[in-house]
Structure 1
């Protein structure tokens, strides 16, 4: 992967860890994710109204990815209810390069070399350490985080294929896919009603503002990834993005005051190093 593209994807990794920290830092993660989704959907609506649609061949991927992203949002909220950021984030993000690399090999015929195999082993080993070390992580919590990782891998492979079919229109592809985020407020209202969605605008405006900002950061972070997926190997792009586990631990420690043991630091570095191996 070109160094310029790699650097941009690493910046996306920092953005991604930042919006996850914003989500985790809010008391009501379902509400926060819903307002993030509203922010993303509003921006996407303006973009699709100003750009021509992507090529017709990419539309099945747009629909599939949009629906998987909604599933990912719900899974992420569930994961953060059961784990702190330094636990849930590395498990979810660290498991996805393995699955993306395998998915890309199966569906896009991208080869897996010896260095990739080493990266997979390092990531898997680091995930096991993170899952078992320090505070006890329940089976349900681990399963929730791994499910989130599976949805990440699924939408990454779908988008890697889809953006290549979009006739060079990554921005339009991204915006149309993110229109599906309008489903999040629908799910929230169905689960809790309208009042719990709107009342925080008066009672907790800073929290809502943080969520809206997180949505903007999120759309920028993943928009960069989709742009990179046009030409970069899916496993490589995913792996470089997943170095965000290191950013997440730093954010969790500095801003959320989460306890991070030495063993977890080492494990996160191993996961990040394994992701870098996948990206080489």
Structure 2
């Protein structure tokens, strides 16, 4: 992978970990995720006067991606009813690159070298290691696995959708900004339909955190969309999920969370996968 794309996606992974750290802002997890997506929509909308309209062929992909993000939010929040963050997050984020790789090769006719396949598998293995139970974790159960894997399917679906949409549009930045603006609006409409207008007051109390997280989310995924127009989607998808490594480092260095030996091992494996992807 070209160095500029490689380091850009790593920067996106850091930003992704950063906005996920802001989810704990005093709301339930579903509201927090929705608030950040609405914040990203507001930030994206401000940039629209400076950007061209997407190509007509790109709009179906934008609308499909917005709907898939709604499904992702719902199943992610549902998964947390059955398992802990340390289990749900790596199961869902770690499984999606494999789905992207399988479908990407079949539908997008992308080819991966053995080195890229090796790096992807090593990185995913490291992420899955994080899901292994510690004494503080809840036991694994069928609903946890099903909802986490369904969440992974939604992640893979919107990733592939946006890869195709951005390529069809021919302008990754325009596609990304219109996607976020559309996604923010759809998220707001569905949220109000589900919980009523009183939810707006709850969101308003945390608008600063929502806007900050939204800008970080906007920057992170815009970089990923740009990278997917230049590099194999499966490789970009796997490298993006190294965000779990940065999330652990934020938890240890900023939040002073403990780092069990198993988590340290997973960090080493993820780092080995990242290096392998860079060298192939």
- Residue 37 of structure 1 corresponds to 37
With over 3 angstroms needed to count, the CA separation of the structure-2 counterparts of 1:251 and 1:75, relative to structure 1, is farther
- Residue 184 of structure 1 corresponds to 187
Q: Distance in 2 between matches of 1:244 and 1:116?
A: 18
TM-superposed CA distance for 1:278, in Å, is: 4.8
With over 3 angstroms needed to count, the CA separation of the structure-2 counterparts of 1:226 and 1:17, relative to structure 1, is same
TM-superposed CA distance for 1:173, in Å, is: 0.6
TM-superposed CA distance for 1:195, in Å, is: 1.6
| Residue pair 1:86, 1:258 contacting (<8 A) in 2 also | no
| Residue pair 2:90, 2:244 contacting (<8 A) in 1 also | yes
- Residue 171 of structure 1 corresponds to 173
More displaced stretch, 89-98 vs 13-22? 89-98
Q: Distance in 2 between matches of 1:118 and 1:220?
A: 28
Give the secondary structure class of the aligned counterpart of 2:221: helix
TM-superposed CA distance for 1:276, in Å, is: 4.9
Give the secondary structure class of the aligned counterpart of 2:131: helix
List aligned pairs for 1:1-280, cutoff 5 A. 1-24=1-24, 26-80=26-80, 82-134=82-134, 135-139=137-141, 140-167=143-170, 169-178=171-180, 179-199=182-202, 201=204, 205=205, 207-274=206-273, 276-278=275-277, 280=280
Q: Distance in 1 between matches of 2:207 and 2:82?
A: 22
The RMSD of aligned alpha carbons is: 2.4
| Residue pair 1:239, 1:276 contacting (<8 A) in 2 also | no
Structure 1: stretches of 5+ with no match in the other structure: none
| Residue pair 2:54, 2:175 contacting (<8 A) in 1 also | yes
More displaced stretch, 98-107 vs 186-195? 186-195
TM-superposed CA distance for 1:274, in Å, is: 3.1
TM-superposed CA distance for 1:101, in Å, is: 1.3
Q: Distance in 2 between matches of 1:83 and 1:31?
A: 18
Q: Distance in 1 between matches of 2:21 and 2:270?
A: 19
Structure 2: stretches of 5+ with no match in the other structure: none
| Residue pair 2:43, 2:214 contacting (<8 A) in 1 also | no
Q: Distance in 2 between matches of 1:111 and 1:53?
A: 31
| Residue pair 1:92, 1:146 contacting (<8 A) in 2 also | yes
Q: Distance in 1 between matches of 2:202 and 2:6?
A: 42
Give the secondary structure class of the aligned counterpart of 1:131: coil
TM-superposed CA distance for 1:80, in Å, is: 4.4
TM-superposed CA distance for 1:82, in Å, is: 4.6
Q: Distance in 2 between matches of 1:268 and 1:7?
A: 18
Q: Distance in 1 between matches of 2:50 and 2:213?
A: 23
Instruction: State the number of aligned residues.
Output: 275
| Residue pair 1:57, 1:166 contacting (<8 A) in 2 also | yes
